[in-house]
Amino acid sequence: MEIRSQDPSSIIKGTFEVGVFCSEDAEGVARLFRSVHGEDYPIKMFYDPIQLVKANQEGDYYSIVARSLDKEIIGIHNLFRSAPSRGAYEWGVGLVLKEWRSKGVSGAIEQFMIDNVVPKLGMHTVFGEPVTNHVQMQKAGIKYNFNATALEVGLMPGEAYSGEGVTSHRVSTLLFFRLYRNIPQEIFLPKPYNVALRFMYEKFLLGRAFSESTSLPPGNTVSQSDMDLFDFAKVARIAFHKIGSDFAEHISDLESEAVKKGSIVIQLWLKLTSPWIGEVVKVLQGRGFFLGGLLPQWFDDDGLLMQKLLFRPDFDSIQLYSDDSHRIADFVREDCQRLYGR
């Protein structure tokens, strides 16, 4: 039975309530993470009530929680900024107290988030990054009209999921998106990925015009990028805000720095609104990068994910649910085999 509480930011679902995080929930969230993960969860903010409250107040996180009727925090999902665009939010960091699993808690949080929270916040894009050692989150994405666009191969260390029976060295993740407001733009398609990207764009055509990328970057122009290093995952993520004529030298320097600091996965985010993205792809293919997929409205502009691995990828361990995600994996695997063979 579902009952609207007197607080419009929450809903009562039988034996528990789902609502928007408030400061009084912060200690309970920390207890929830300790109960499920001990002290090992890599995002330490969830153990720090003051930081969690601040992140929600500043809009970098929107946490949605489930509370038992005696106000214990029994579950959580989050919307948070992880893309360059401040209008794009990732849906993730979801967990439920062990004794409350299989009671509809996670689904209730998801439904409340999609139906009640997201429409009020004005964000243009929501995306998820479900792991591929199971398909539960992938099924949830389809239920809420998210569409797969990319595959991040070997993104996470397998030991992070050892409690779930994972034996693979690395765990891959899928990316799926839902656009709440389209941003019109002209997209330039790199010739090697024309077919793949047109497939990935099938659900995201509104407001887009497409051309083949044939231009070269203007001379004496300077690339601008940000690099984030994730020590636990051994991942480097590099966002290119501008691509200049110095791109080859620029990426060489960043790649060397990332490897020196222990990264074994290097991801690049590049704007598909750049007329010379095709030339950039040629450079990257020559440096051992392969296709990841489409990132709708990632910079506000659409993005292209390229990736490089310092280990041999394990595609056989990847579990996918939808036909579209299987097709995307085929494109990614085919391009990867250019480097590693079959």
Cβ(156)–Cβ(133) below 8 Å: no
Rounded to 5 degrees, what are φ and ψ at 101? -70, 155
pLDDT for residue 308: 98
Strand intervals (E) in 108-165: 125-128, 147-157
Residue of 255, 230, 218 whose CA lies nearest to 240: 255
Q: Judging by beta carbons within 10 Å of its beta carbon (0-12, 13-18, 19+), is residue 192 exposed, middle or buried?
A: middle
Segment 129-138 mean pLDDT? 92
Three-class SS of residue 156?
Answer: strand
CA 112 to chain centre: 20
Rounded to 5 degrees, what are φ and ψ at 268? -115, 135
CA 327 to chain centre: 19
pLDDT tens readout for residues 288-328: 999 999 999 999 999 999 999 999 999 999 999 999 999 99
How far apart, in whole angstroms, are the C-alpha atoms of residue 2 and residue 219? 62
pLDDT tens readout for residues 39-81: 888 889 999 999 999 999 999 999 999 999 999 999 999 999 9
pLDDT tens readout for residues 212-267: 999 999 999 999 999 999 998 999 999 999 999 999 999 999 999 999 999 999 99
* Predicted model pTM: 0.92
pLDDT tens readout for residues 258-275: 999 999 999 999 999 999
pLDDT for residue 160: 66
Segment 1-5 mean pLDDT? 38
CATH code for the part of the protein at 185-340? 3.40.630.30
Report the mean per-residue pLDDT for the chain: 93
Pick the CATH number of 2-179 from 2.60.120.10, 3.10.180.10, 3.40.50.410, 3.40.630.30: 3.40.630.30
For residue 189, give both structure tokens.
């398609």
Segment 101-125 mean pLDDT? 94
How far apart, in whole angstroms, are the C-alpha atoms of residue 274 and residue 223? 12
Q: Where are the domains of the chain?
A: 2-179, 185-340
49-58 vs 26-37: helix crossing angle, rounded to 10:
120
Segment 174-193 mean pLDDT? 97
Three-class SS of residue 178?
Answer: strand
For residue 213, give both structure tokens.
């990328």
Q: 101 falls in which pLDDT band (50, 70, 90)? A: very high
In CATH terms, are 2-179 and 185-340 the same topology? yes
Q: Give me the percent of the chain exceeding a pLDDT of 90.
A: 86
Amino acid at 180: Y
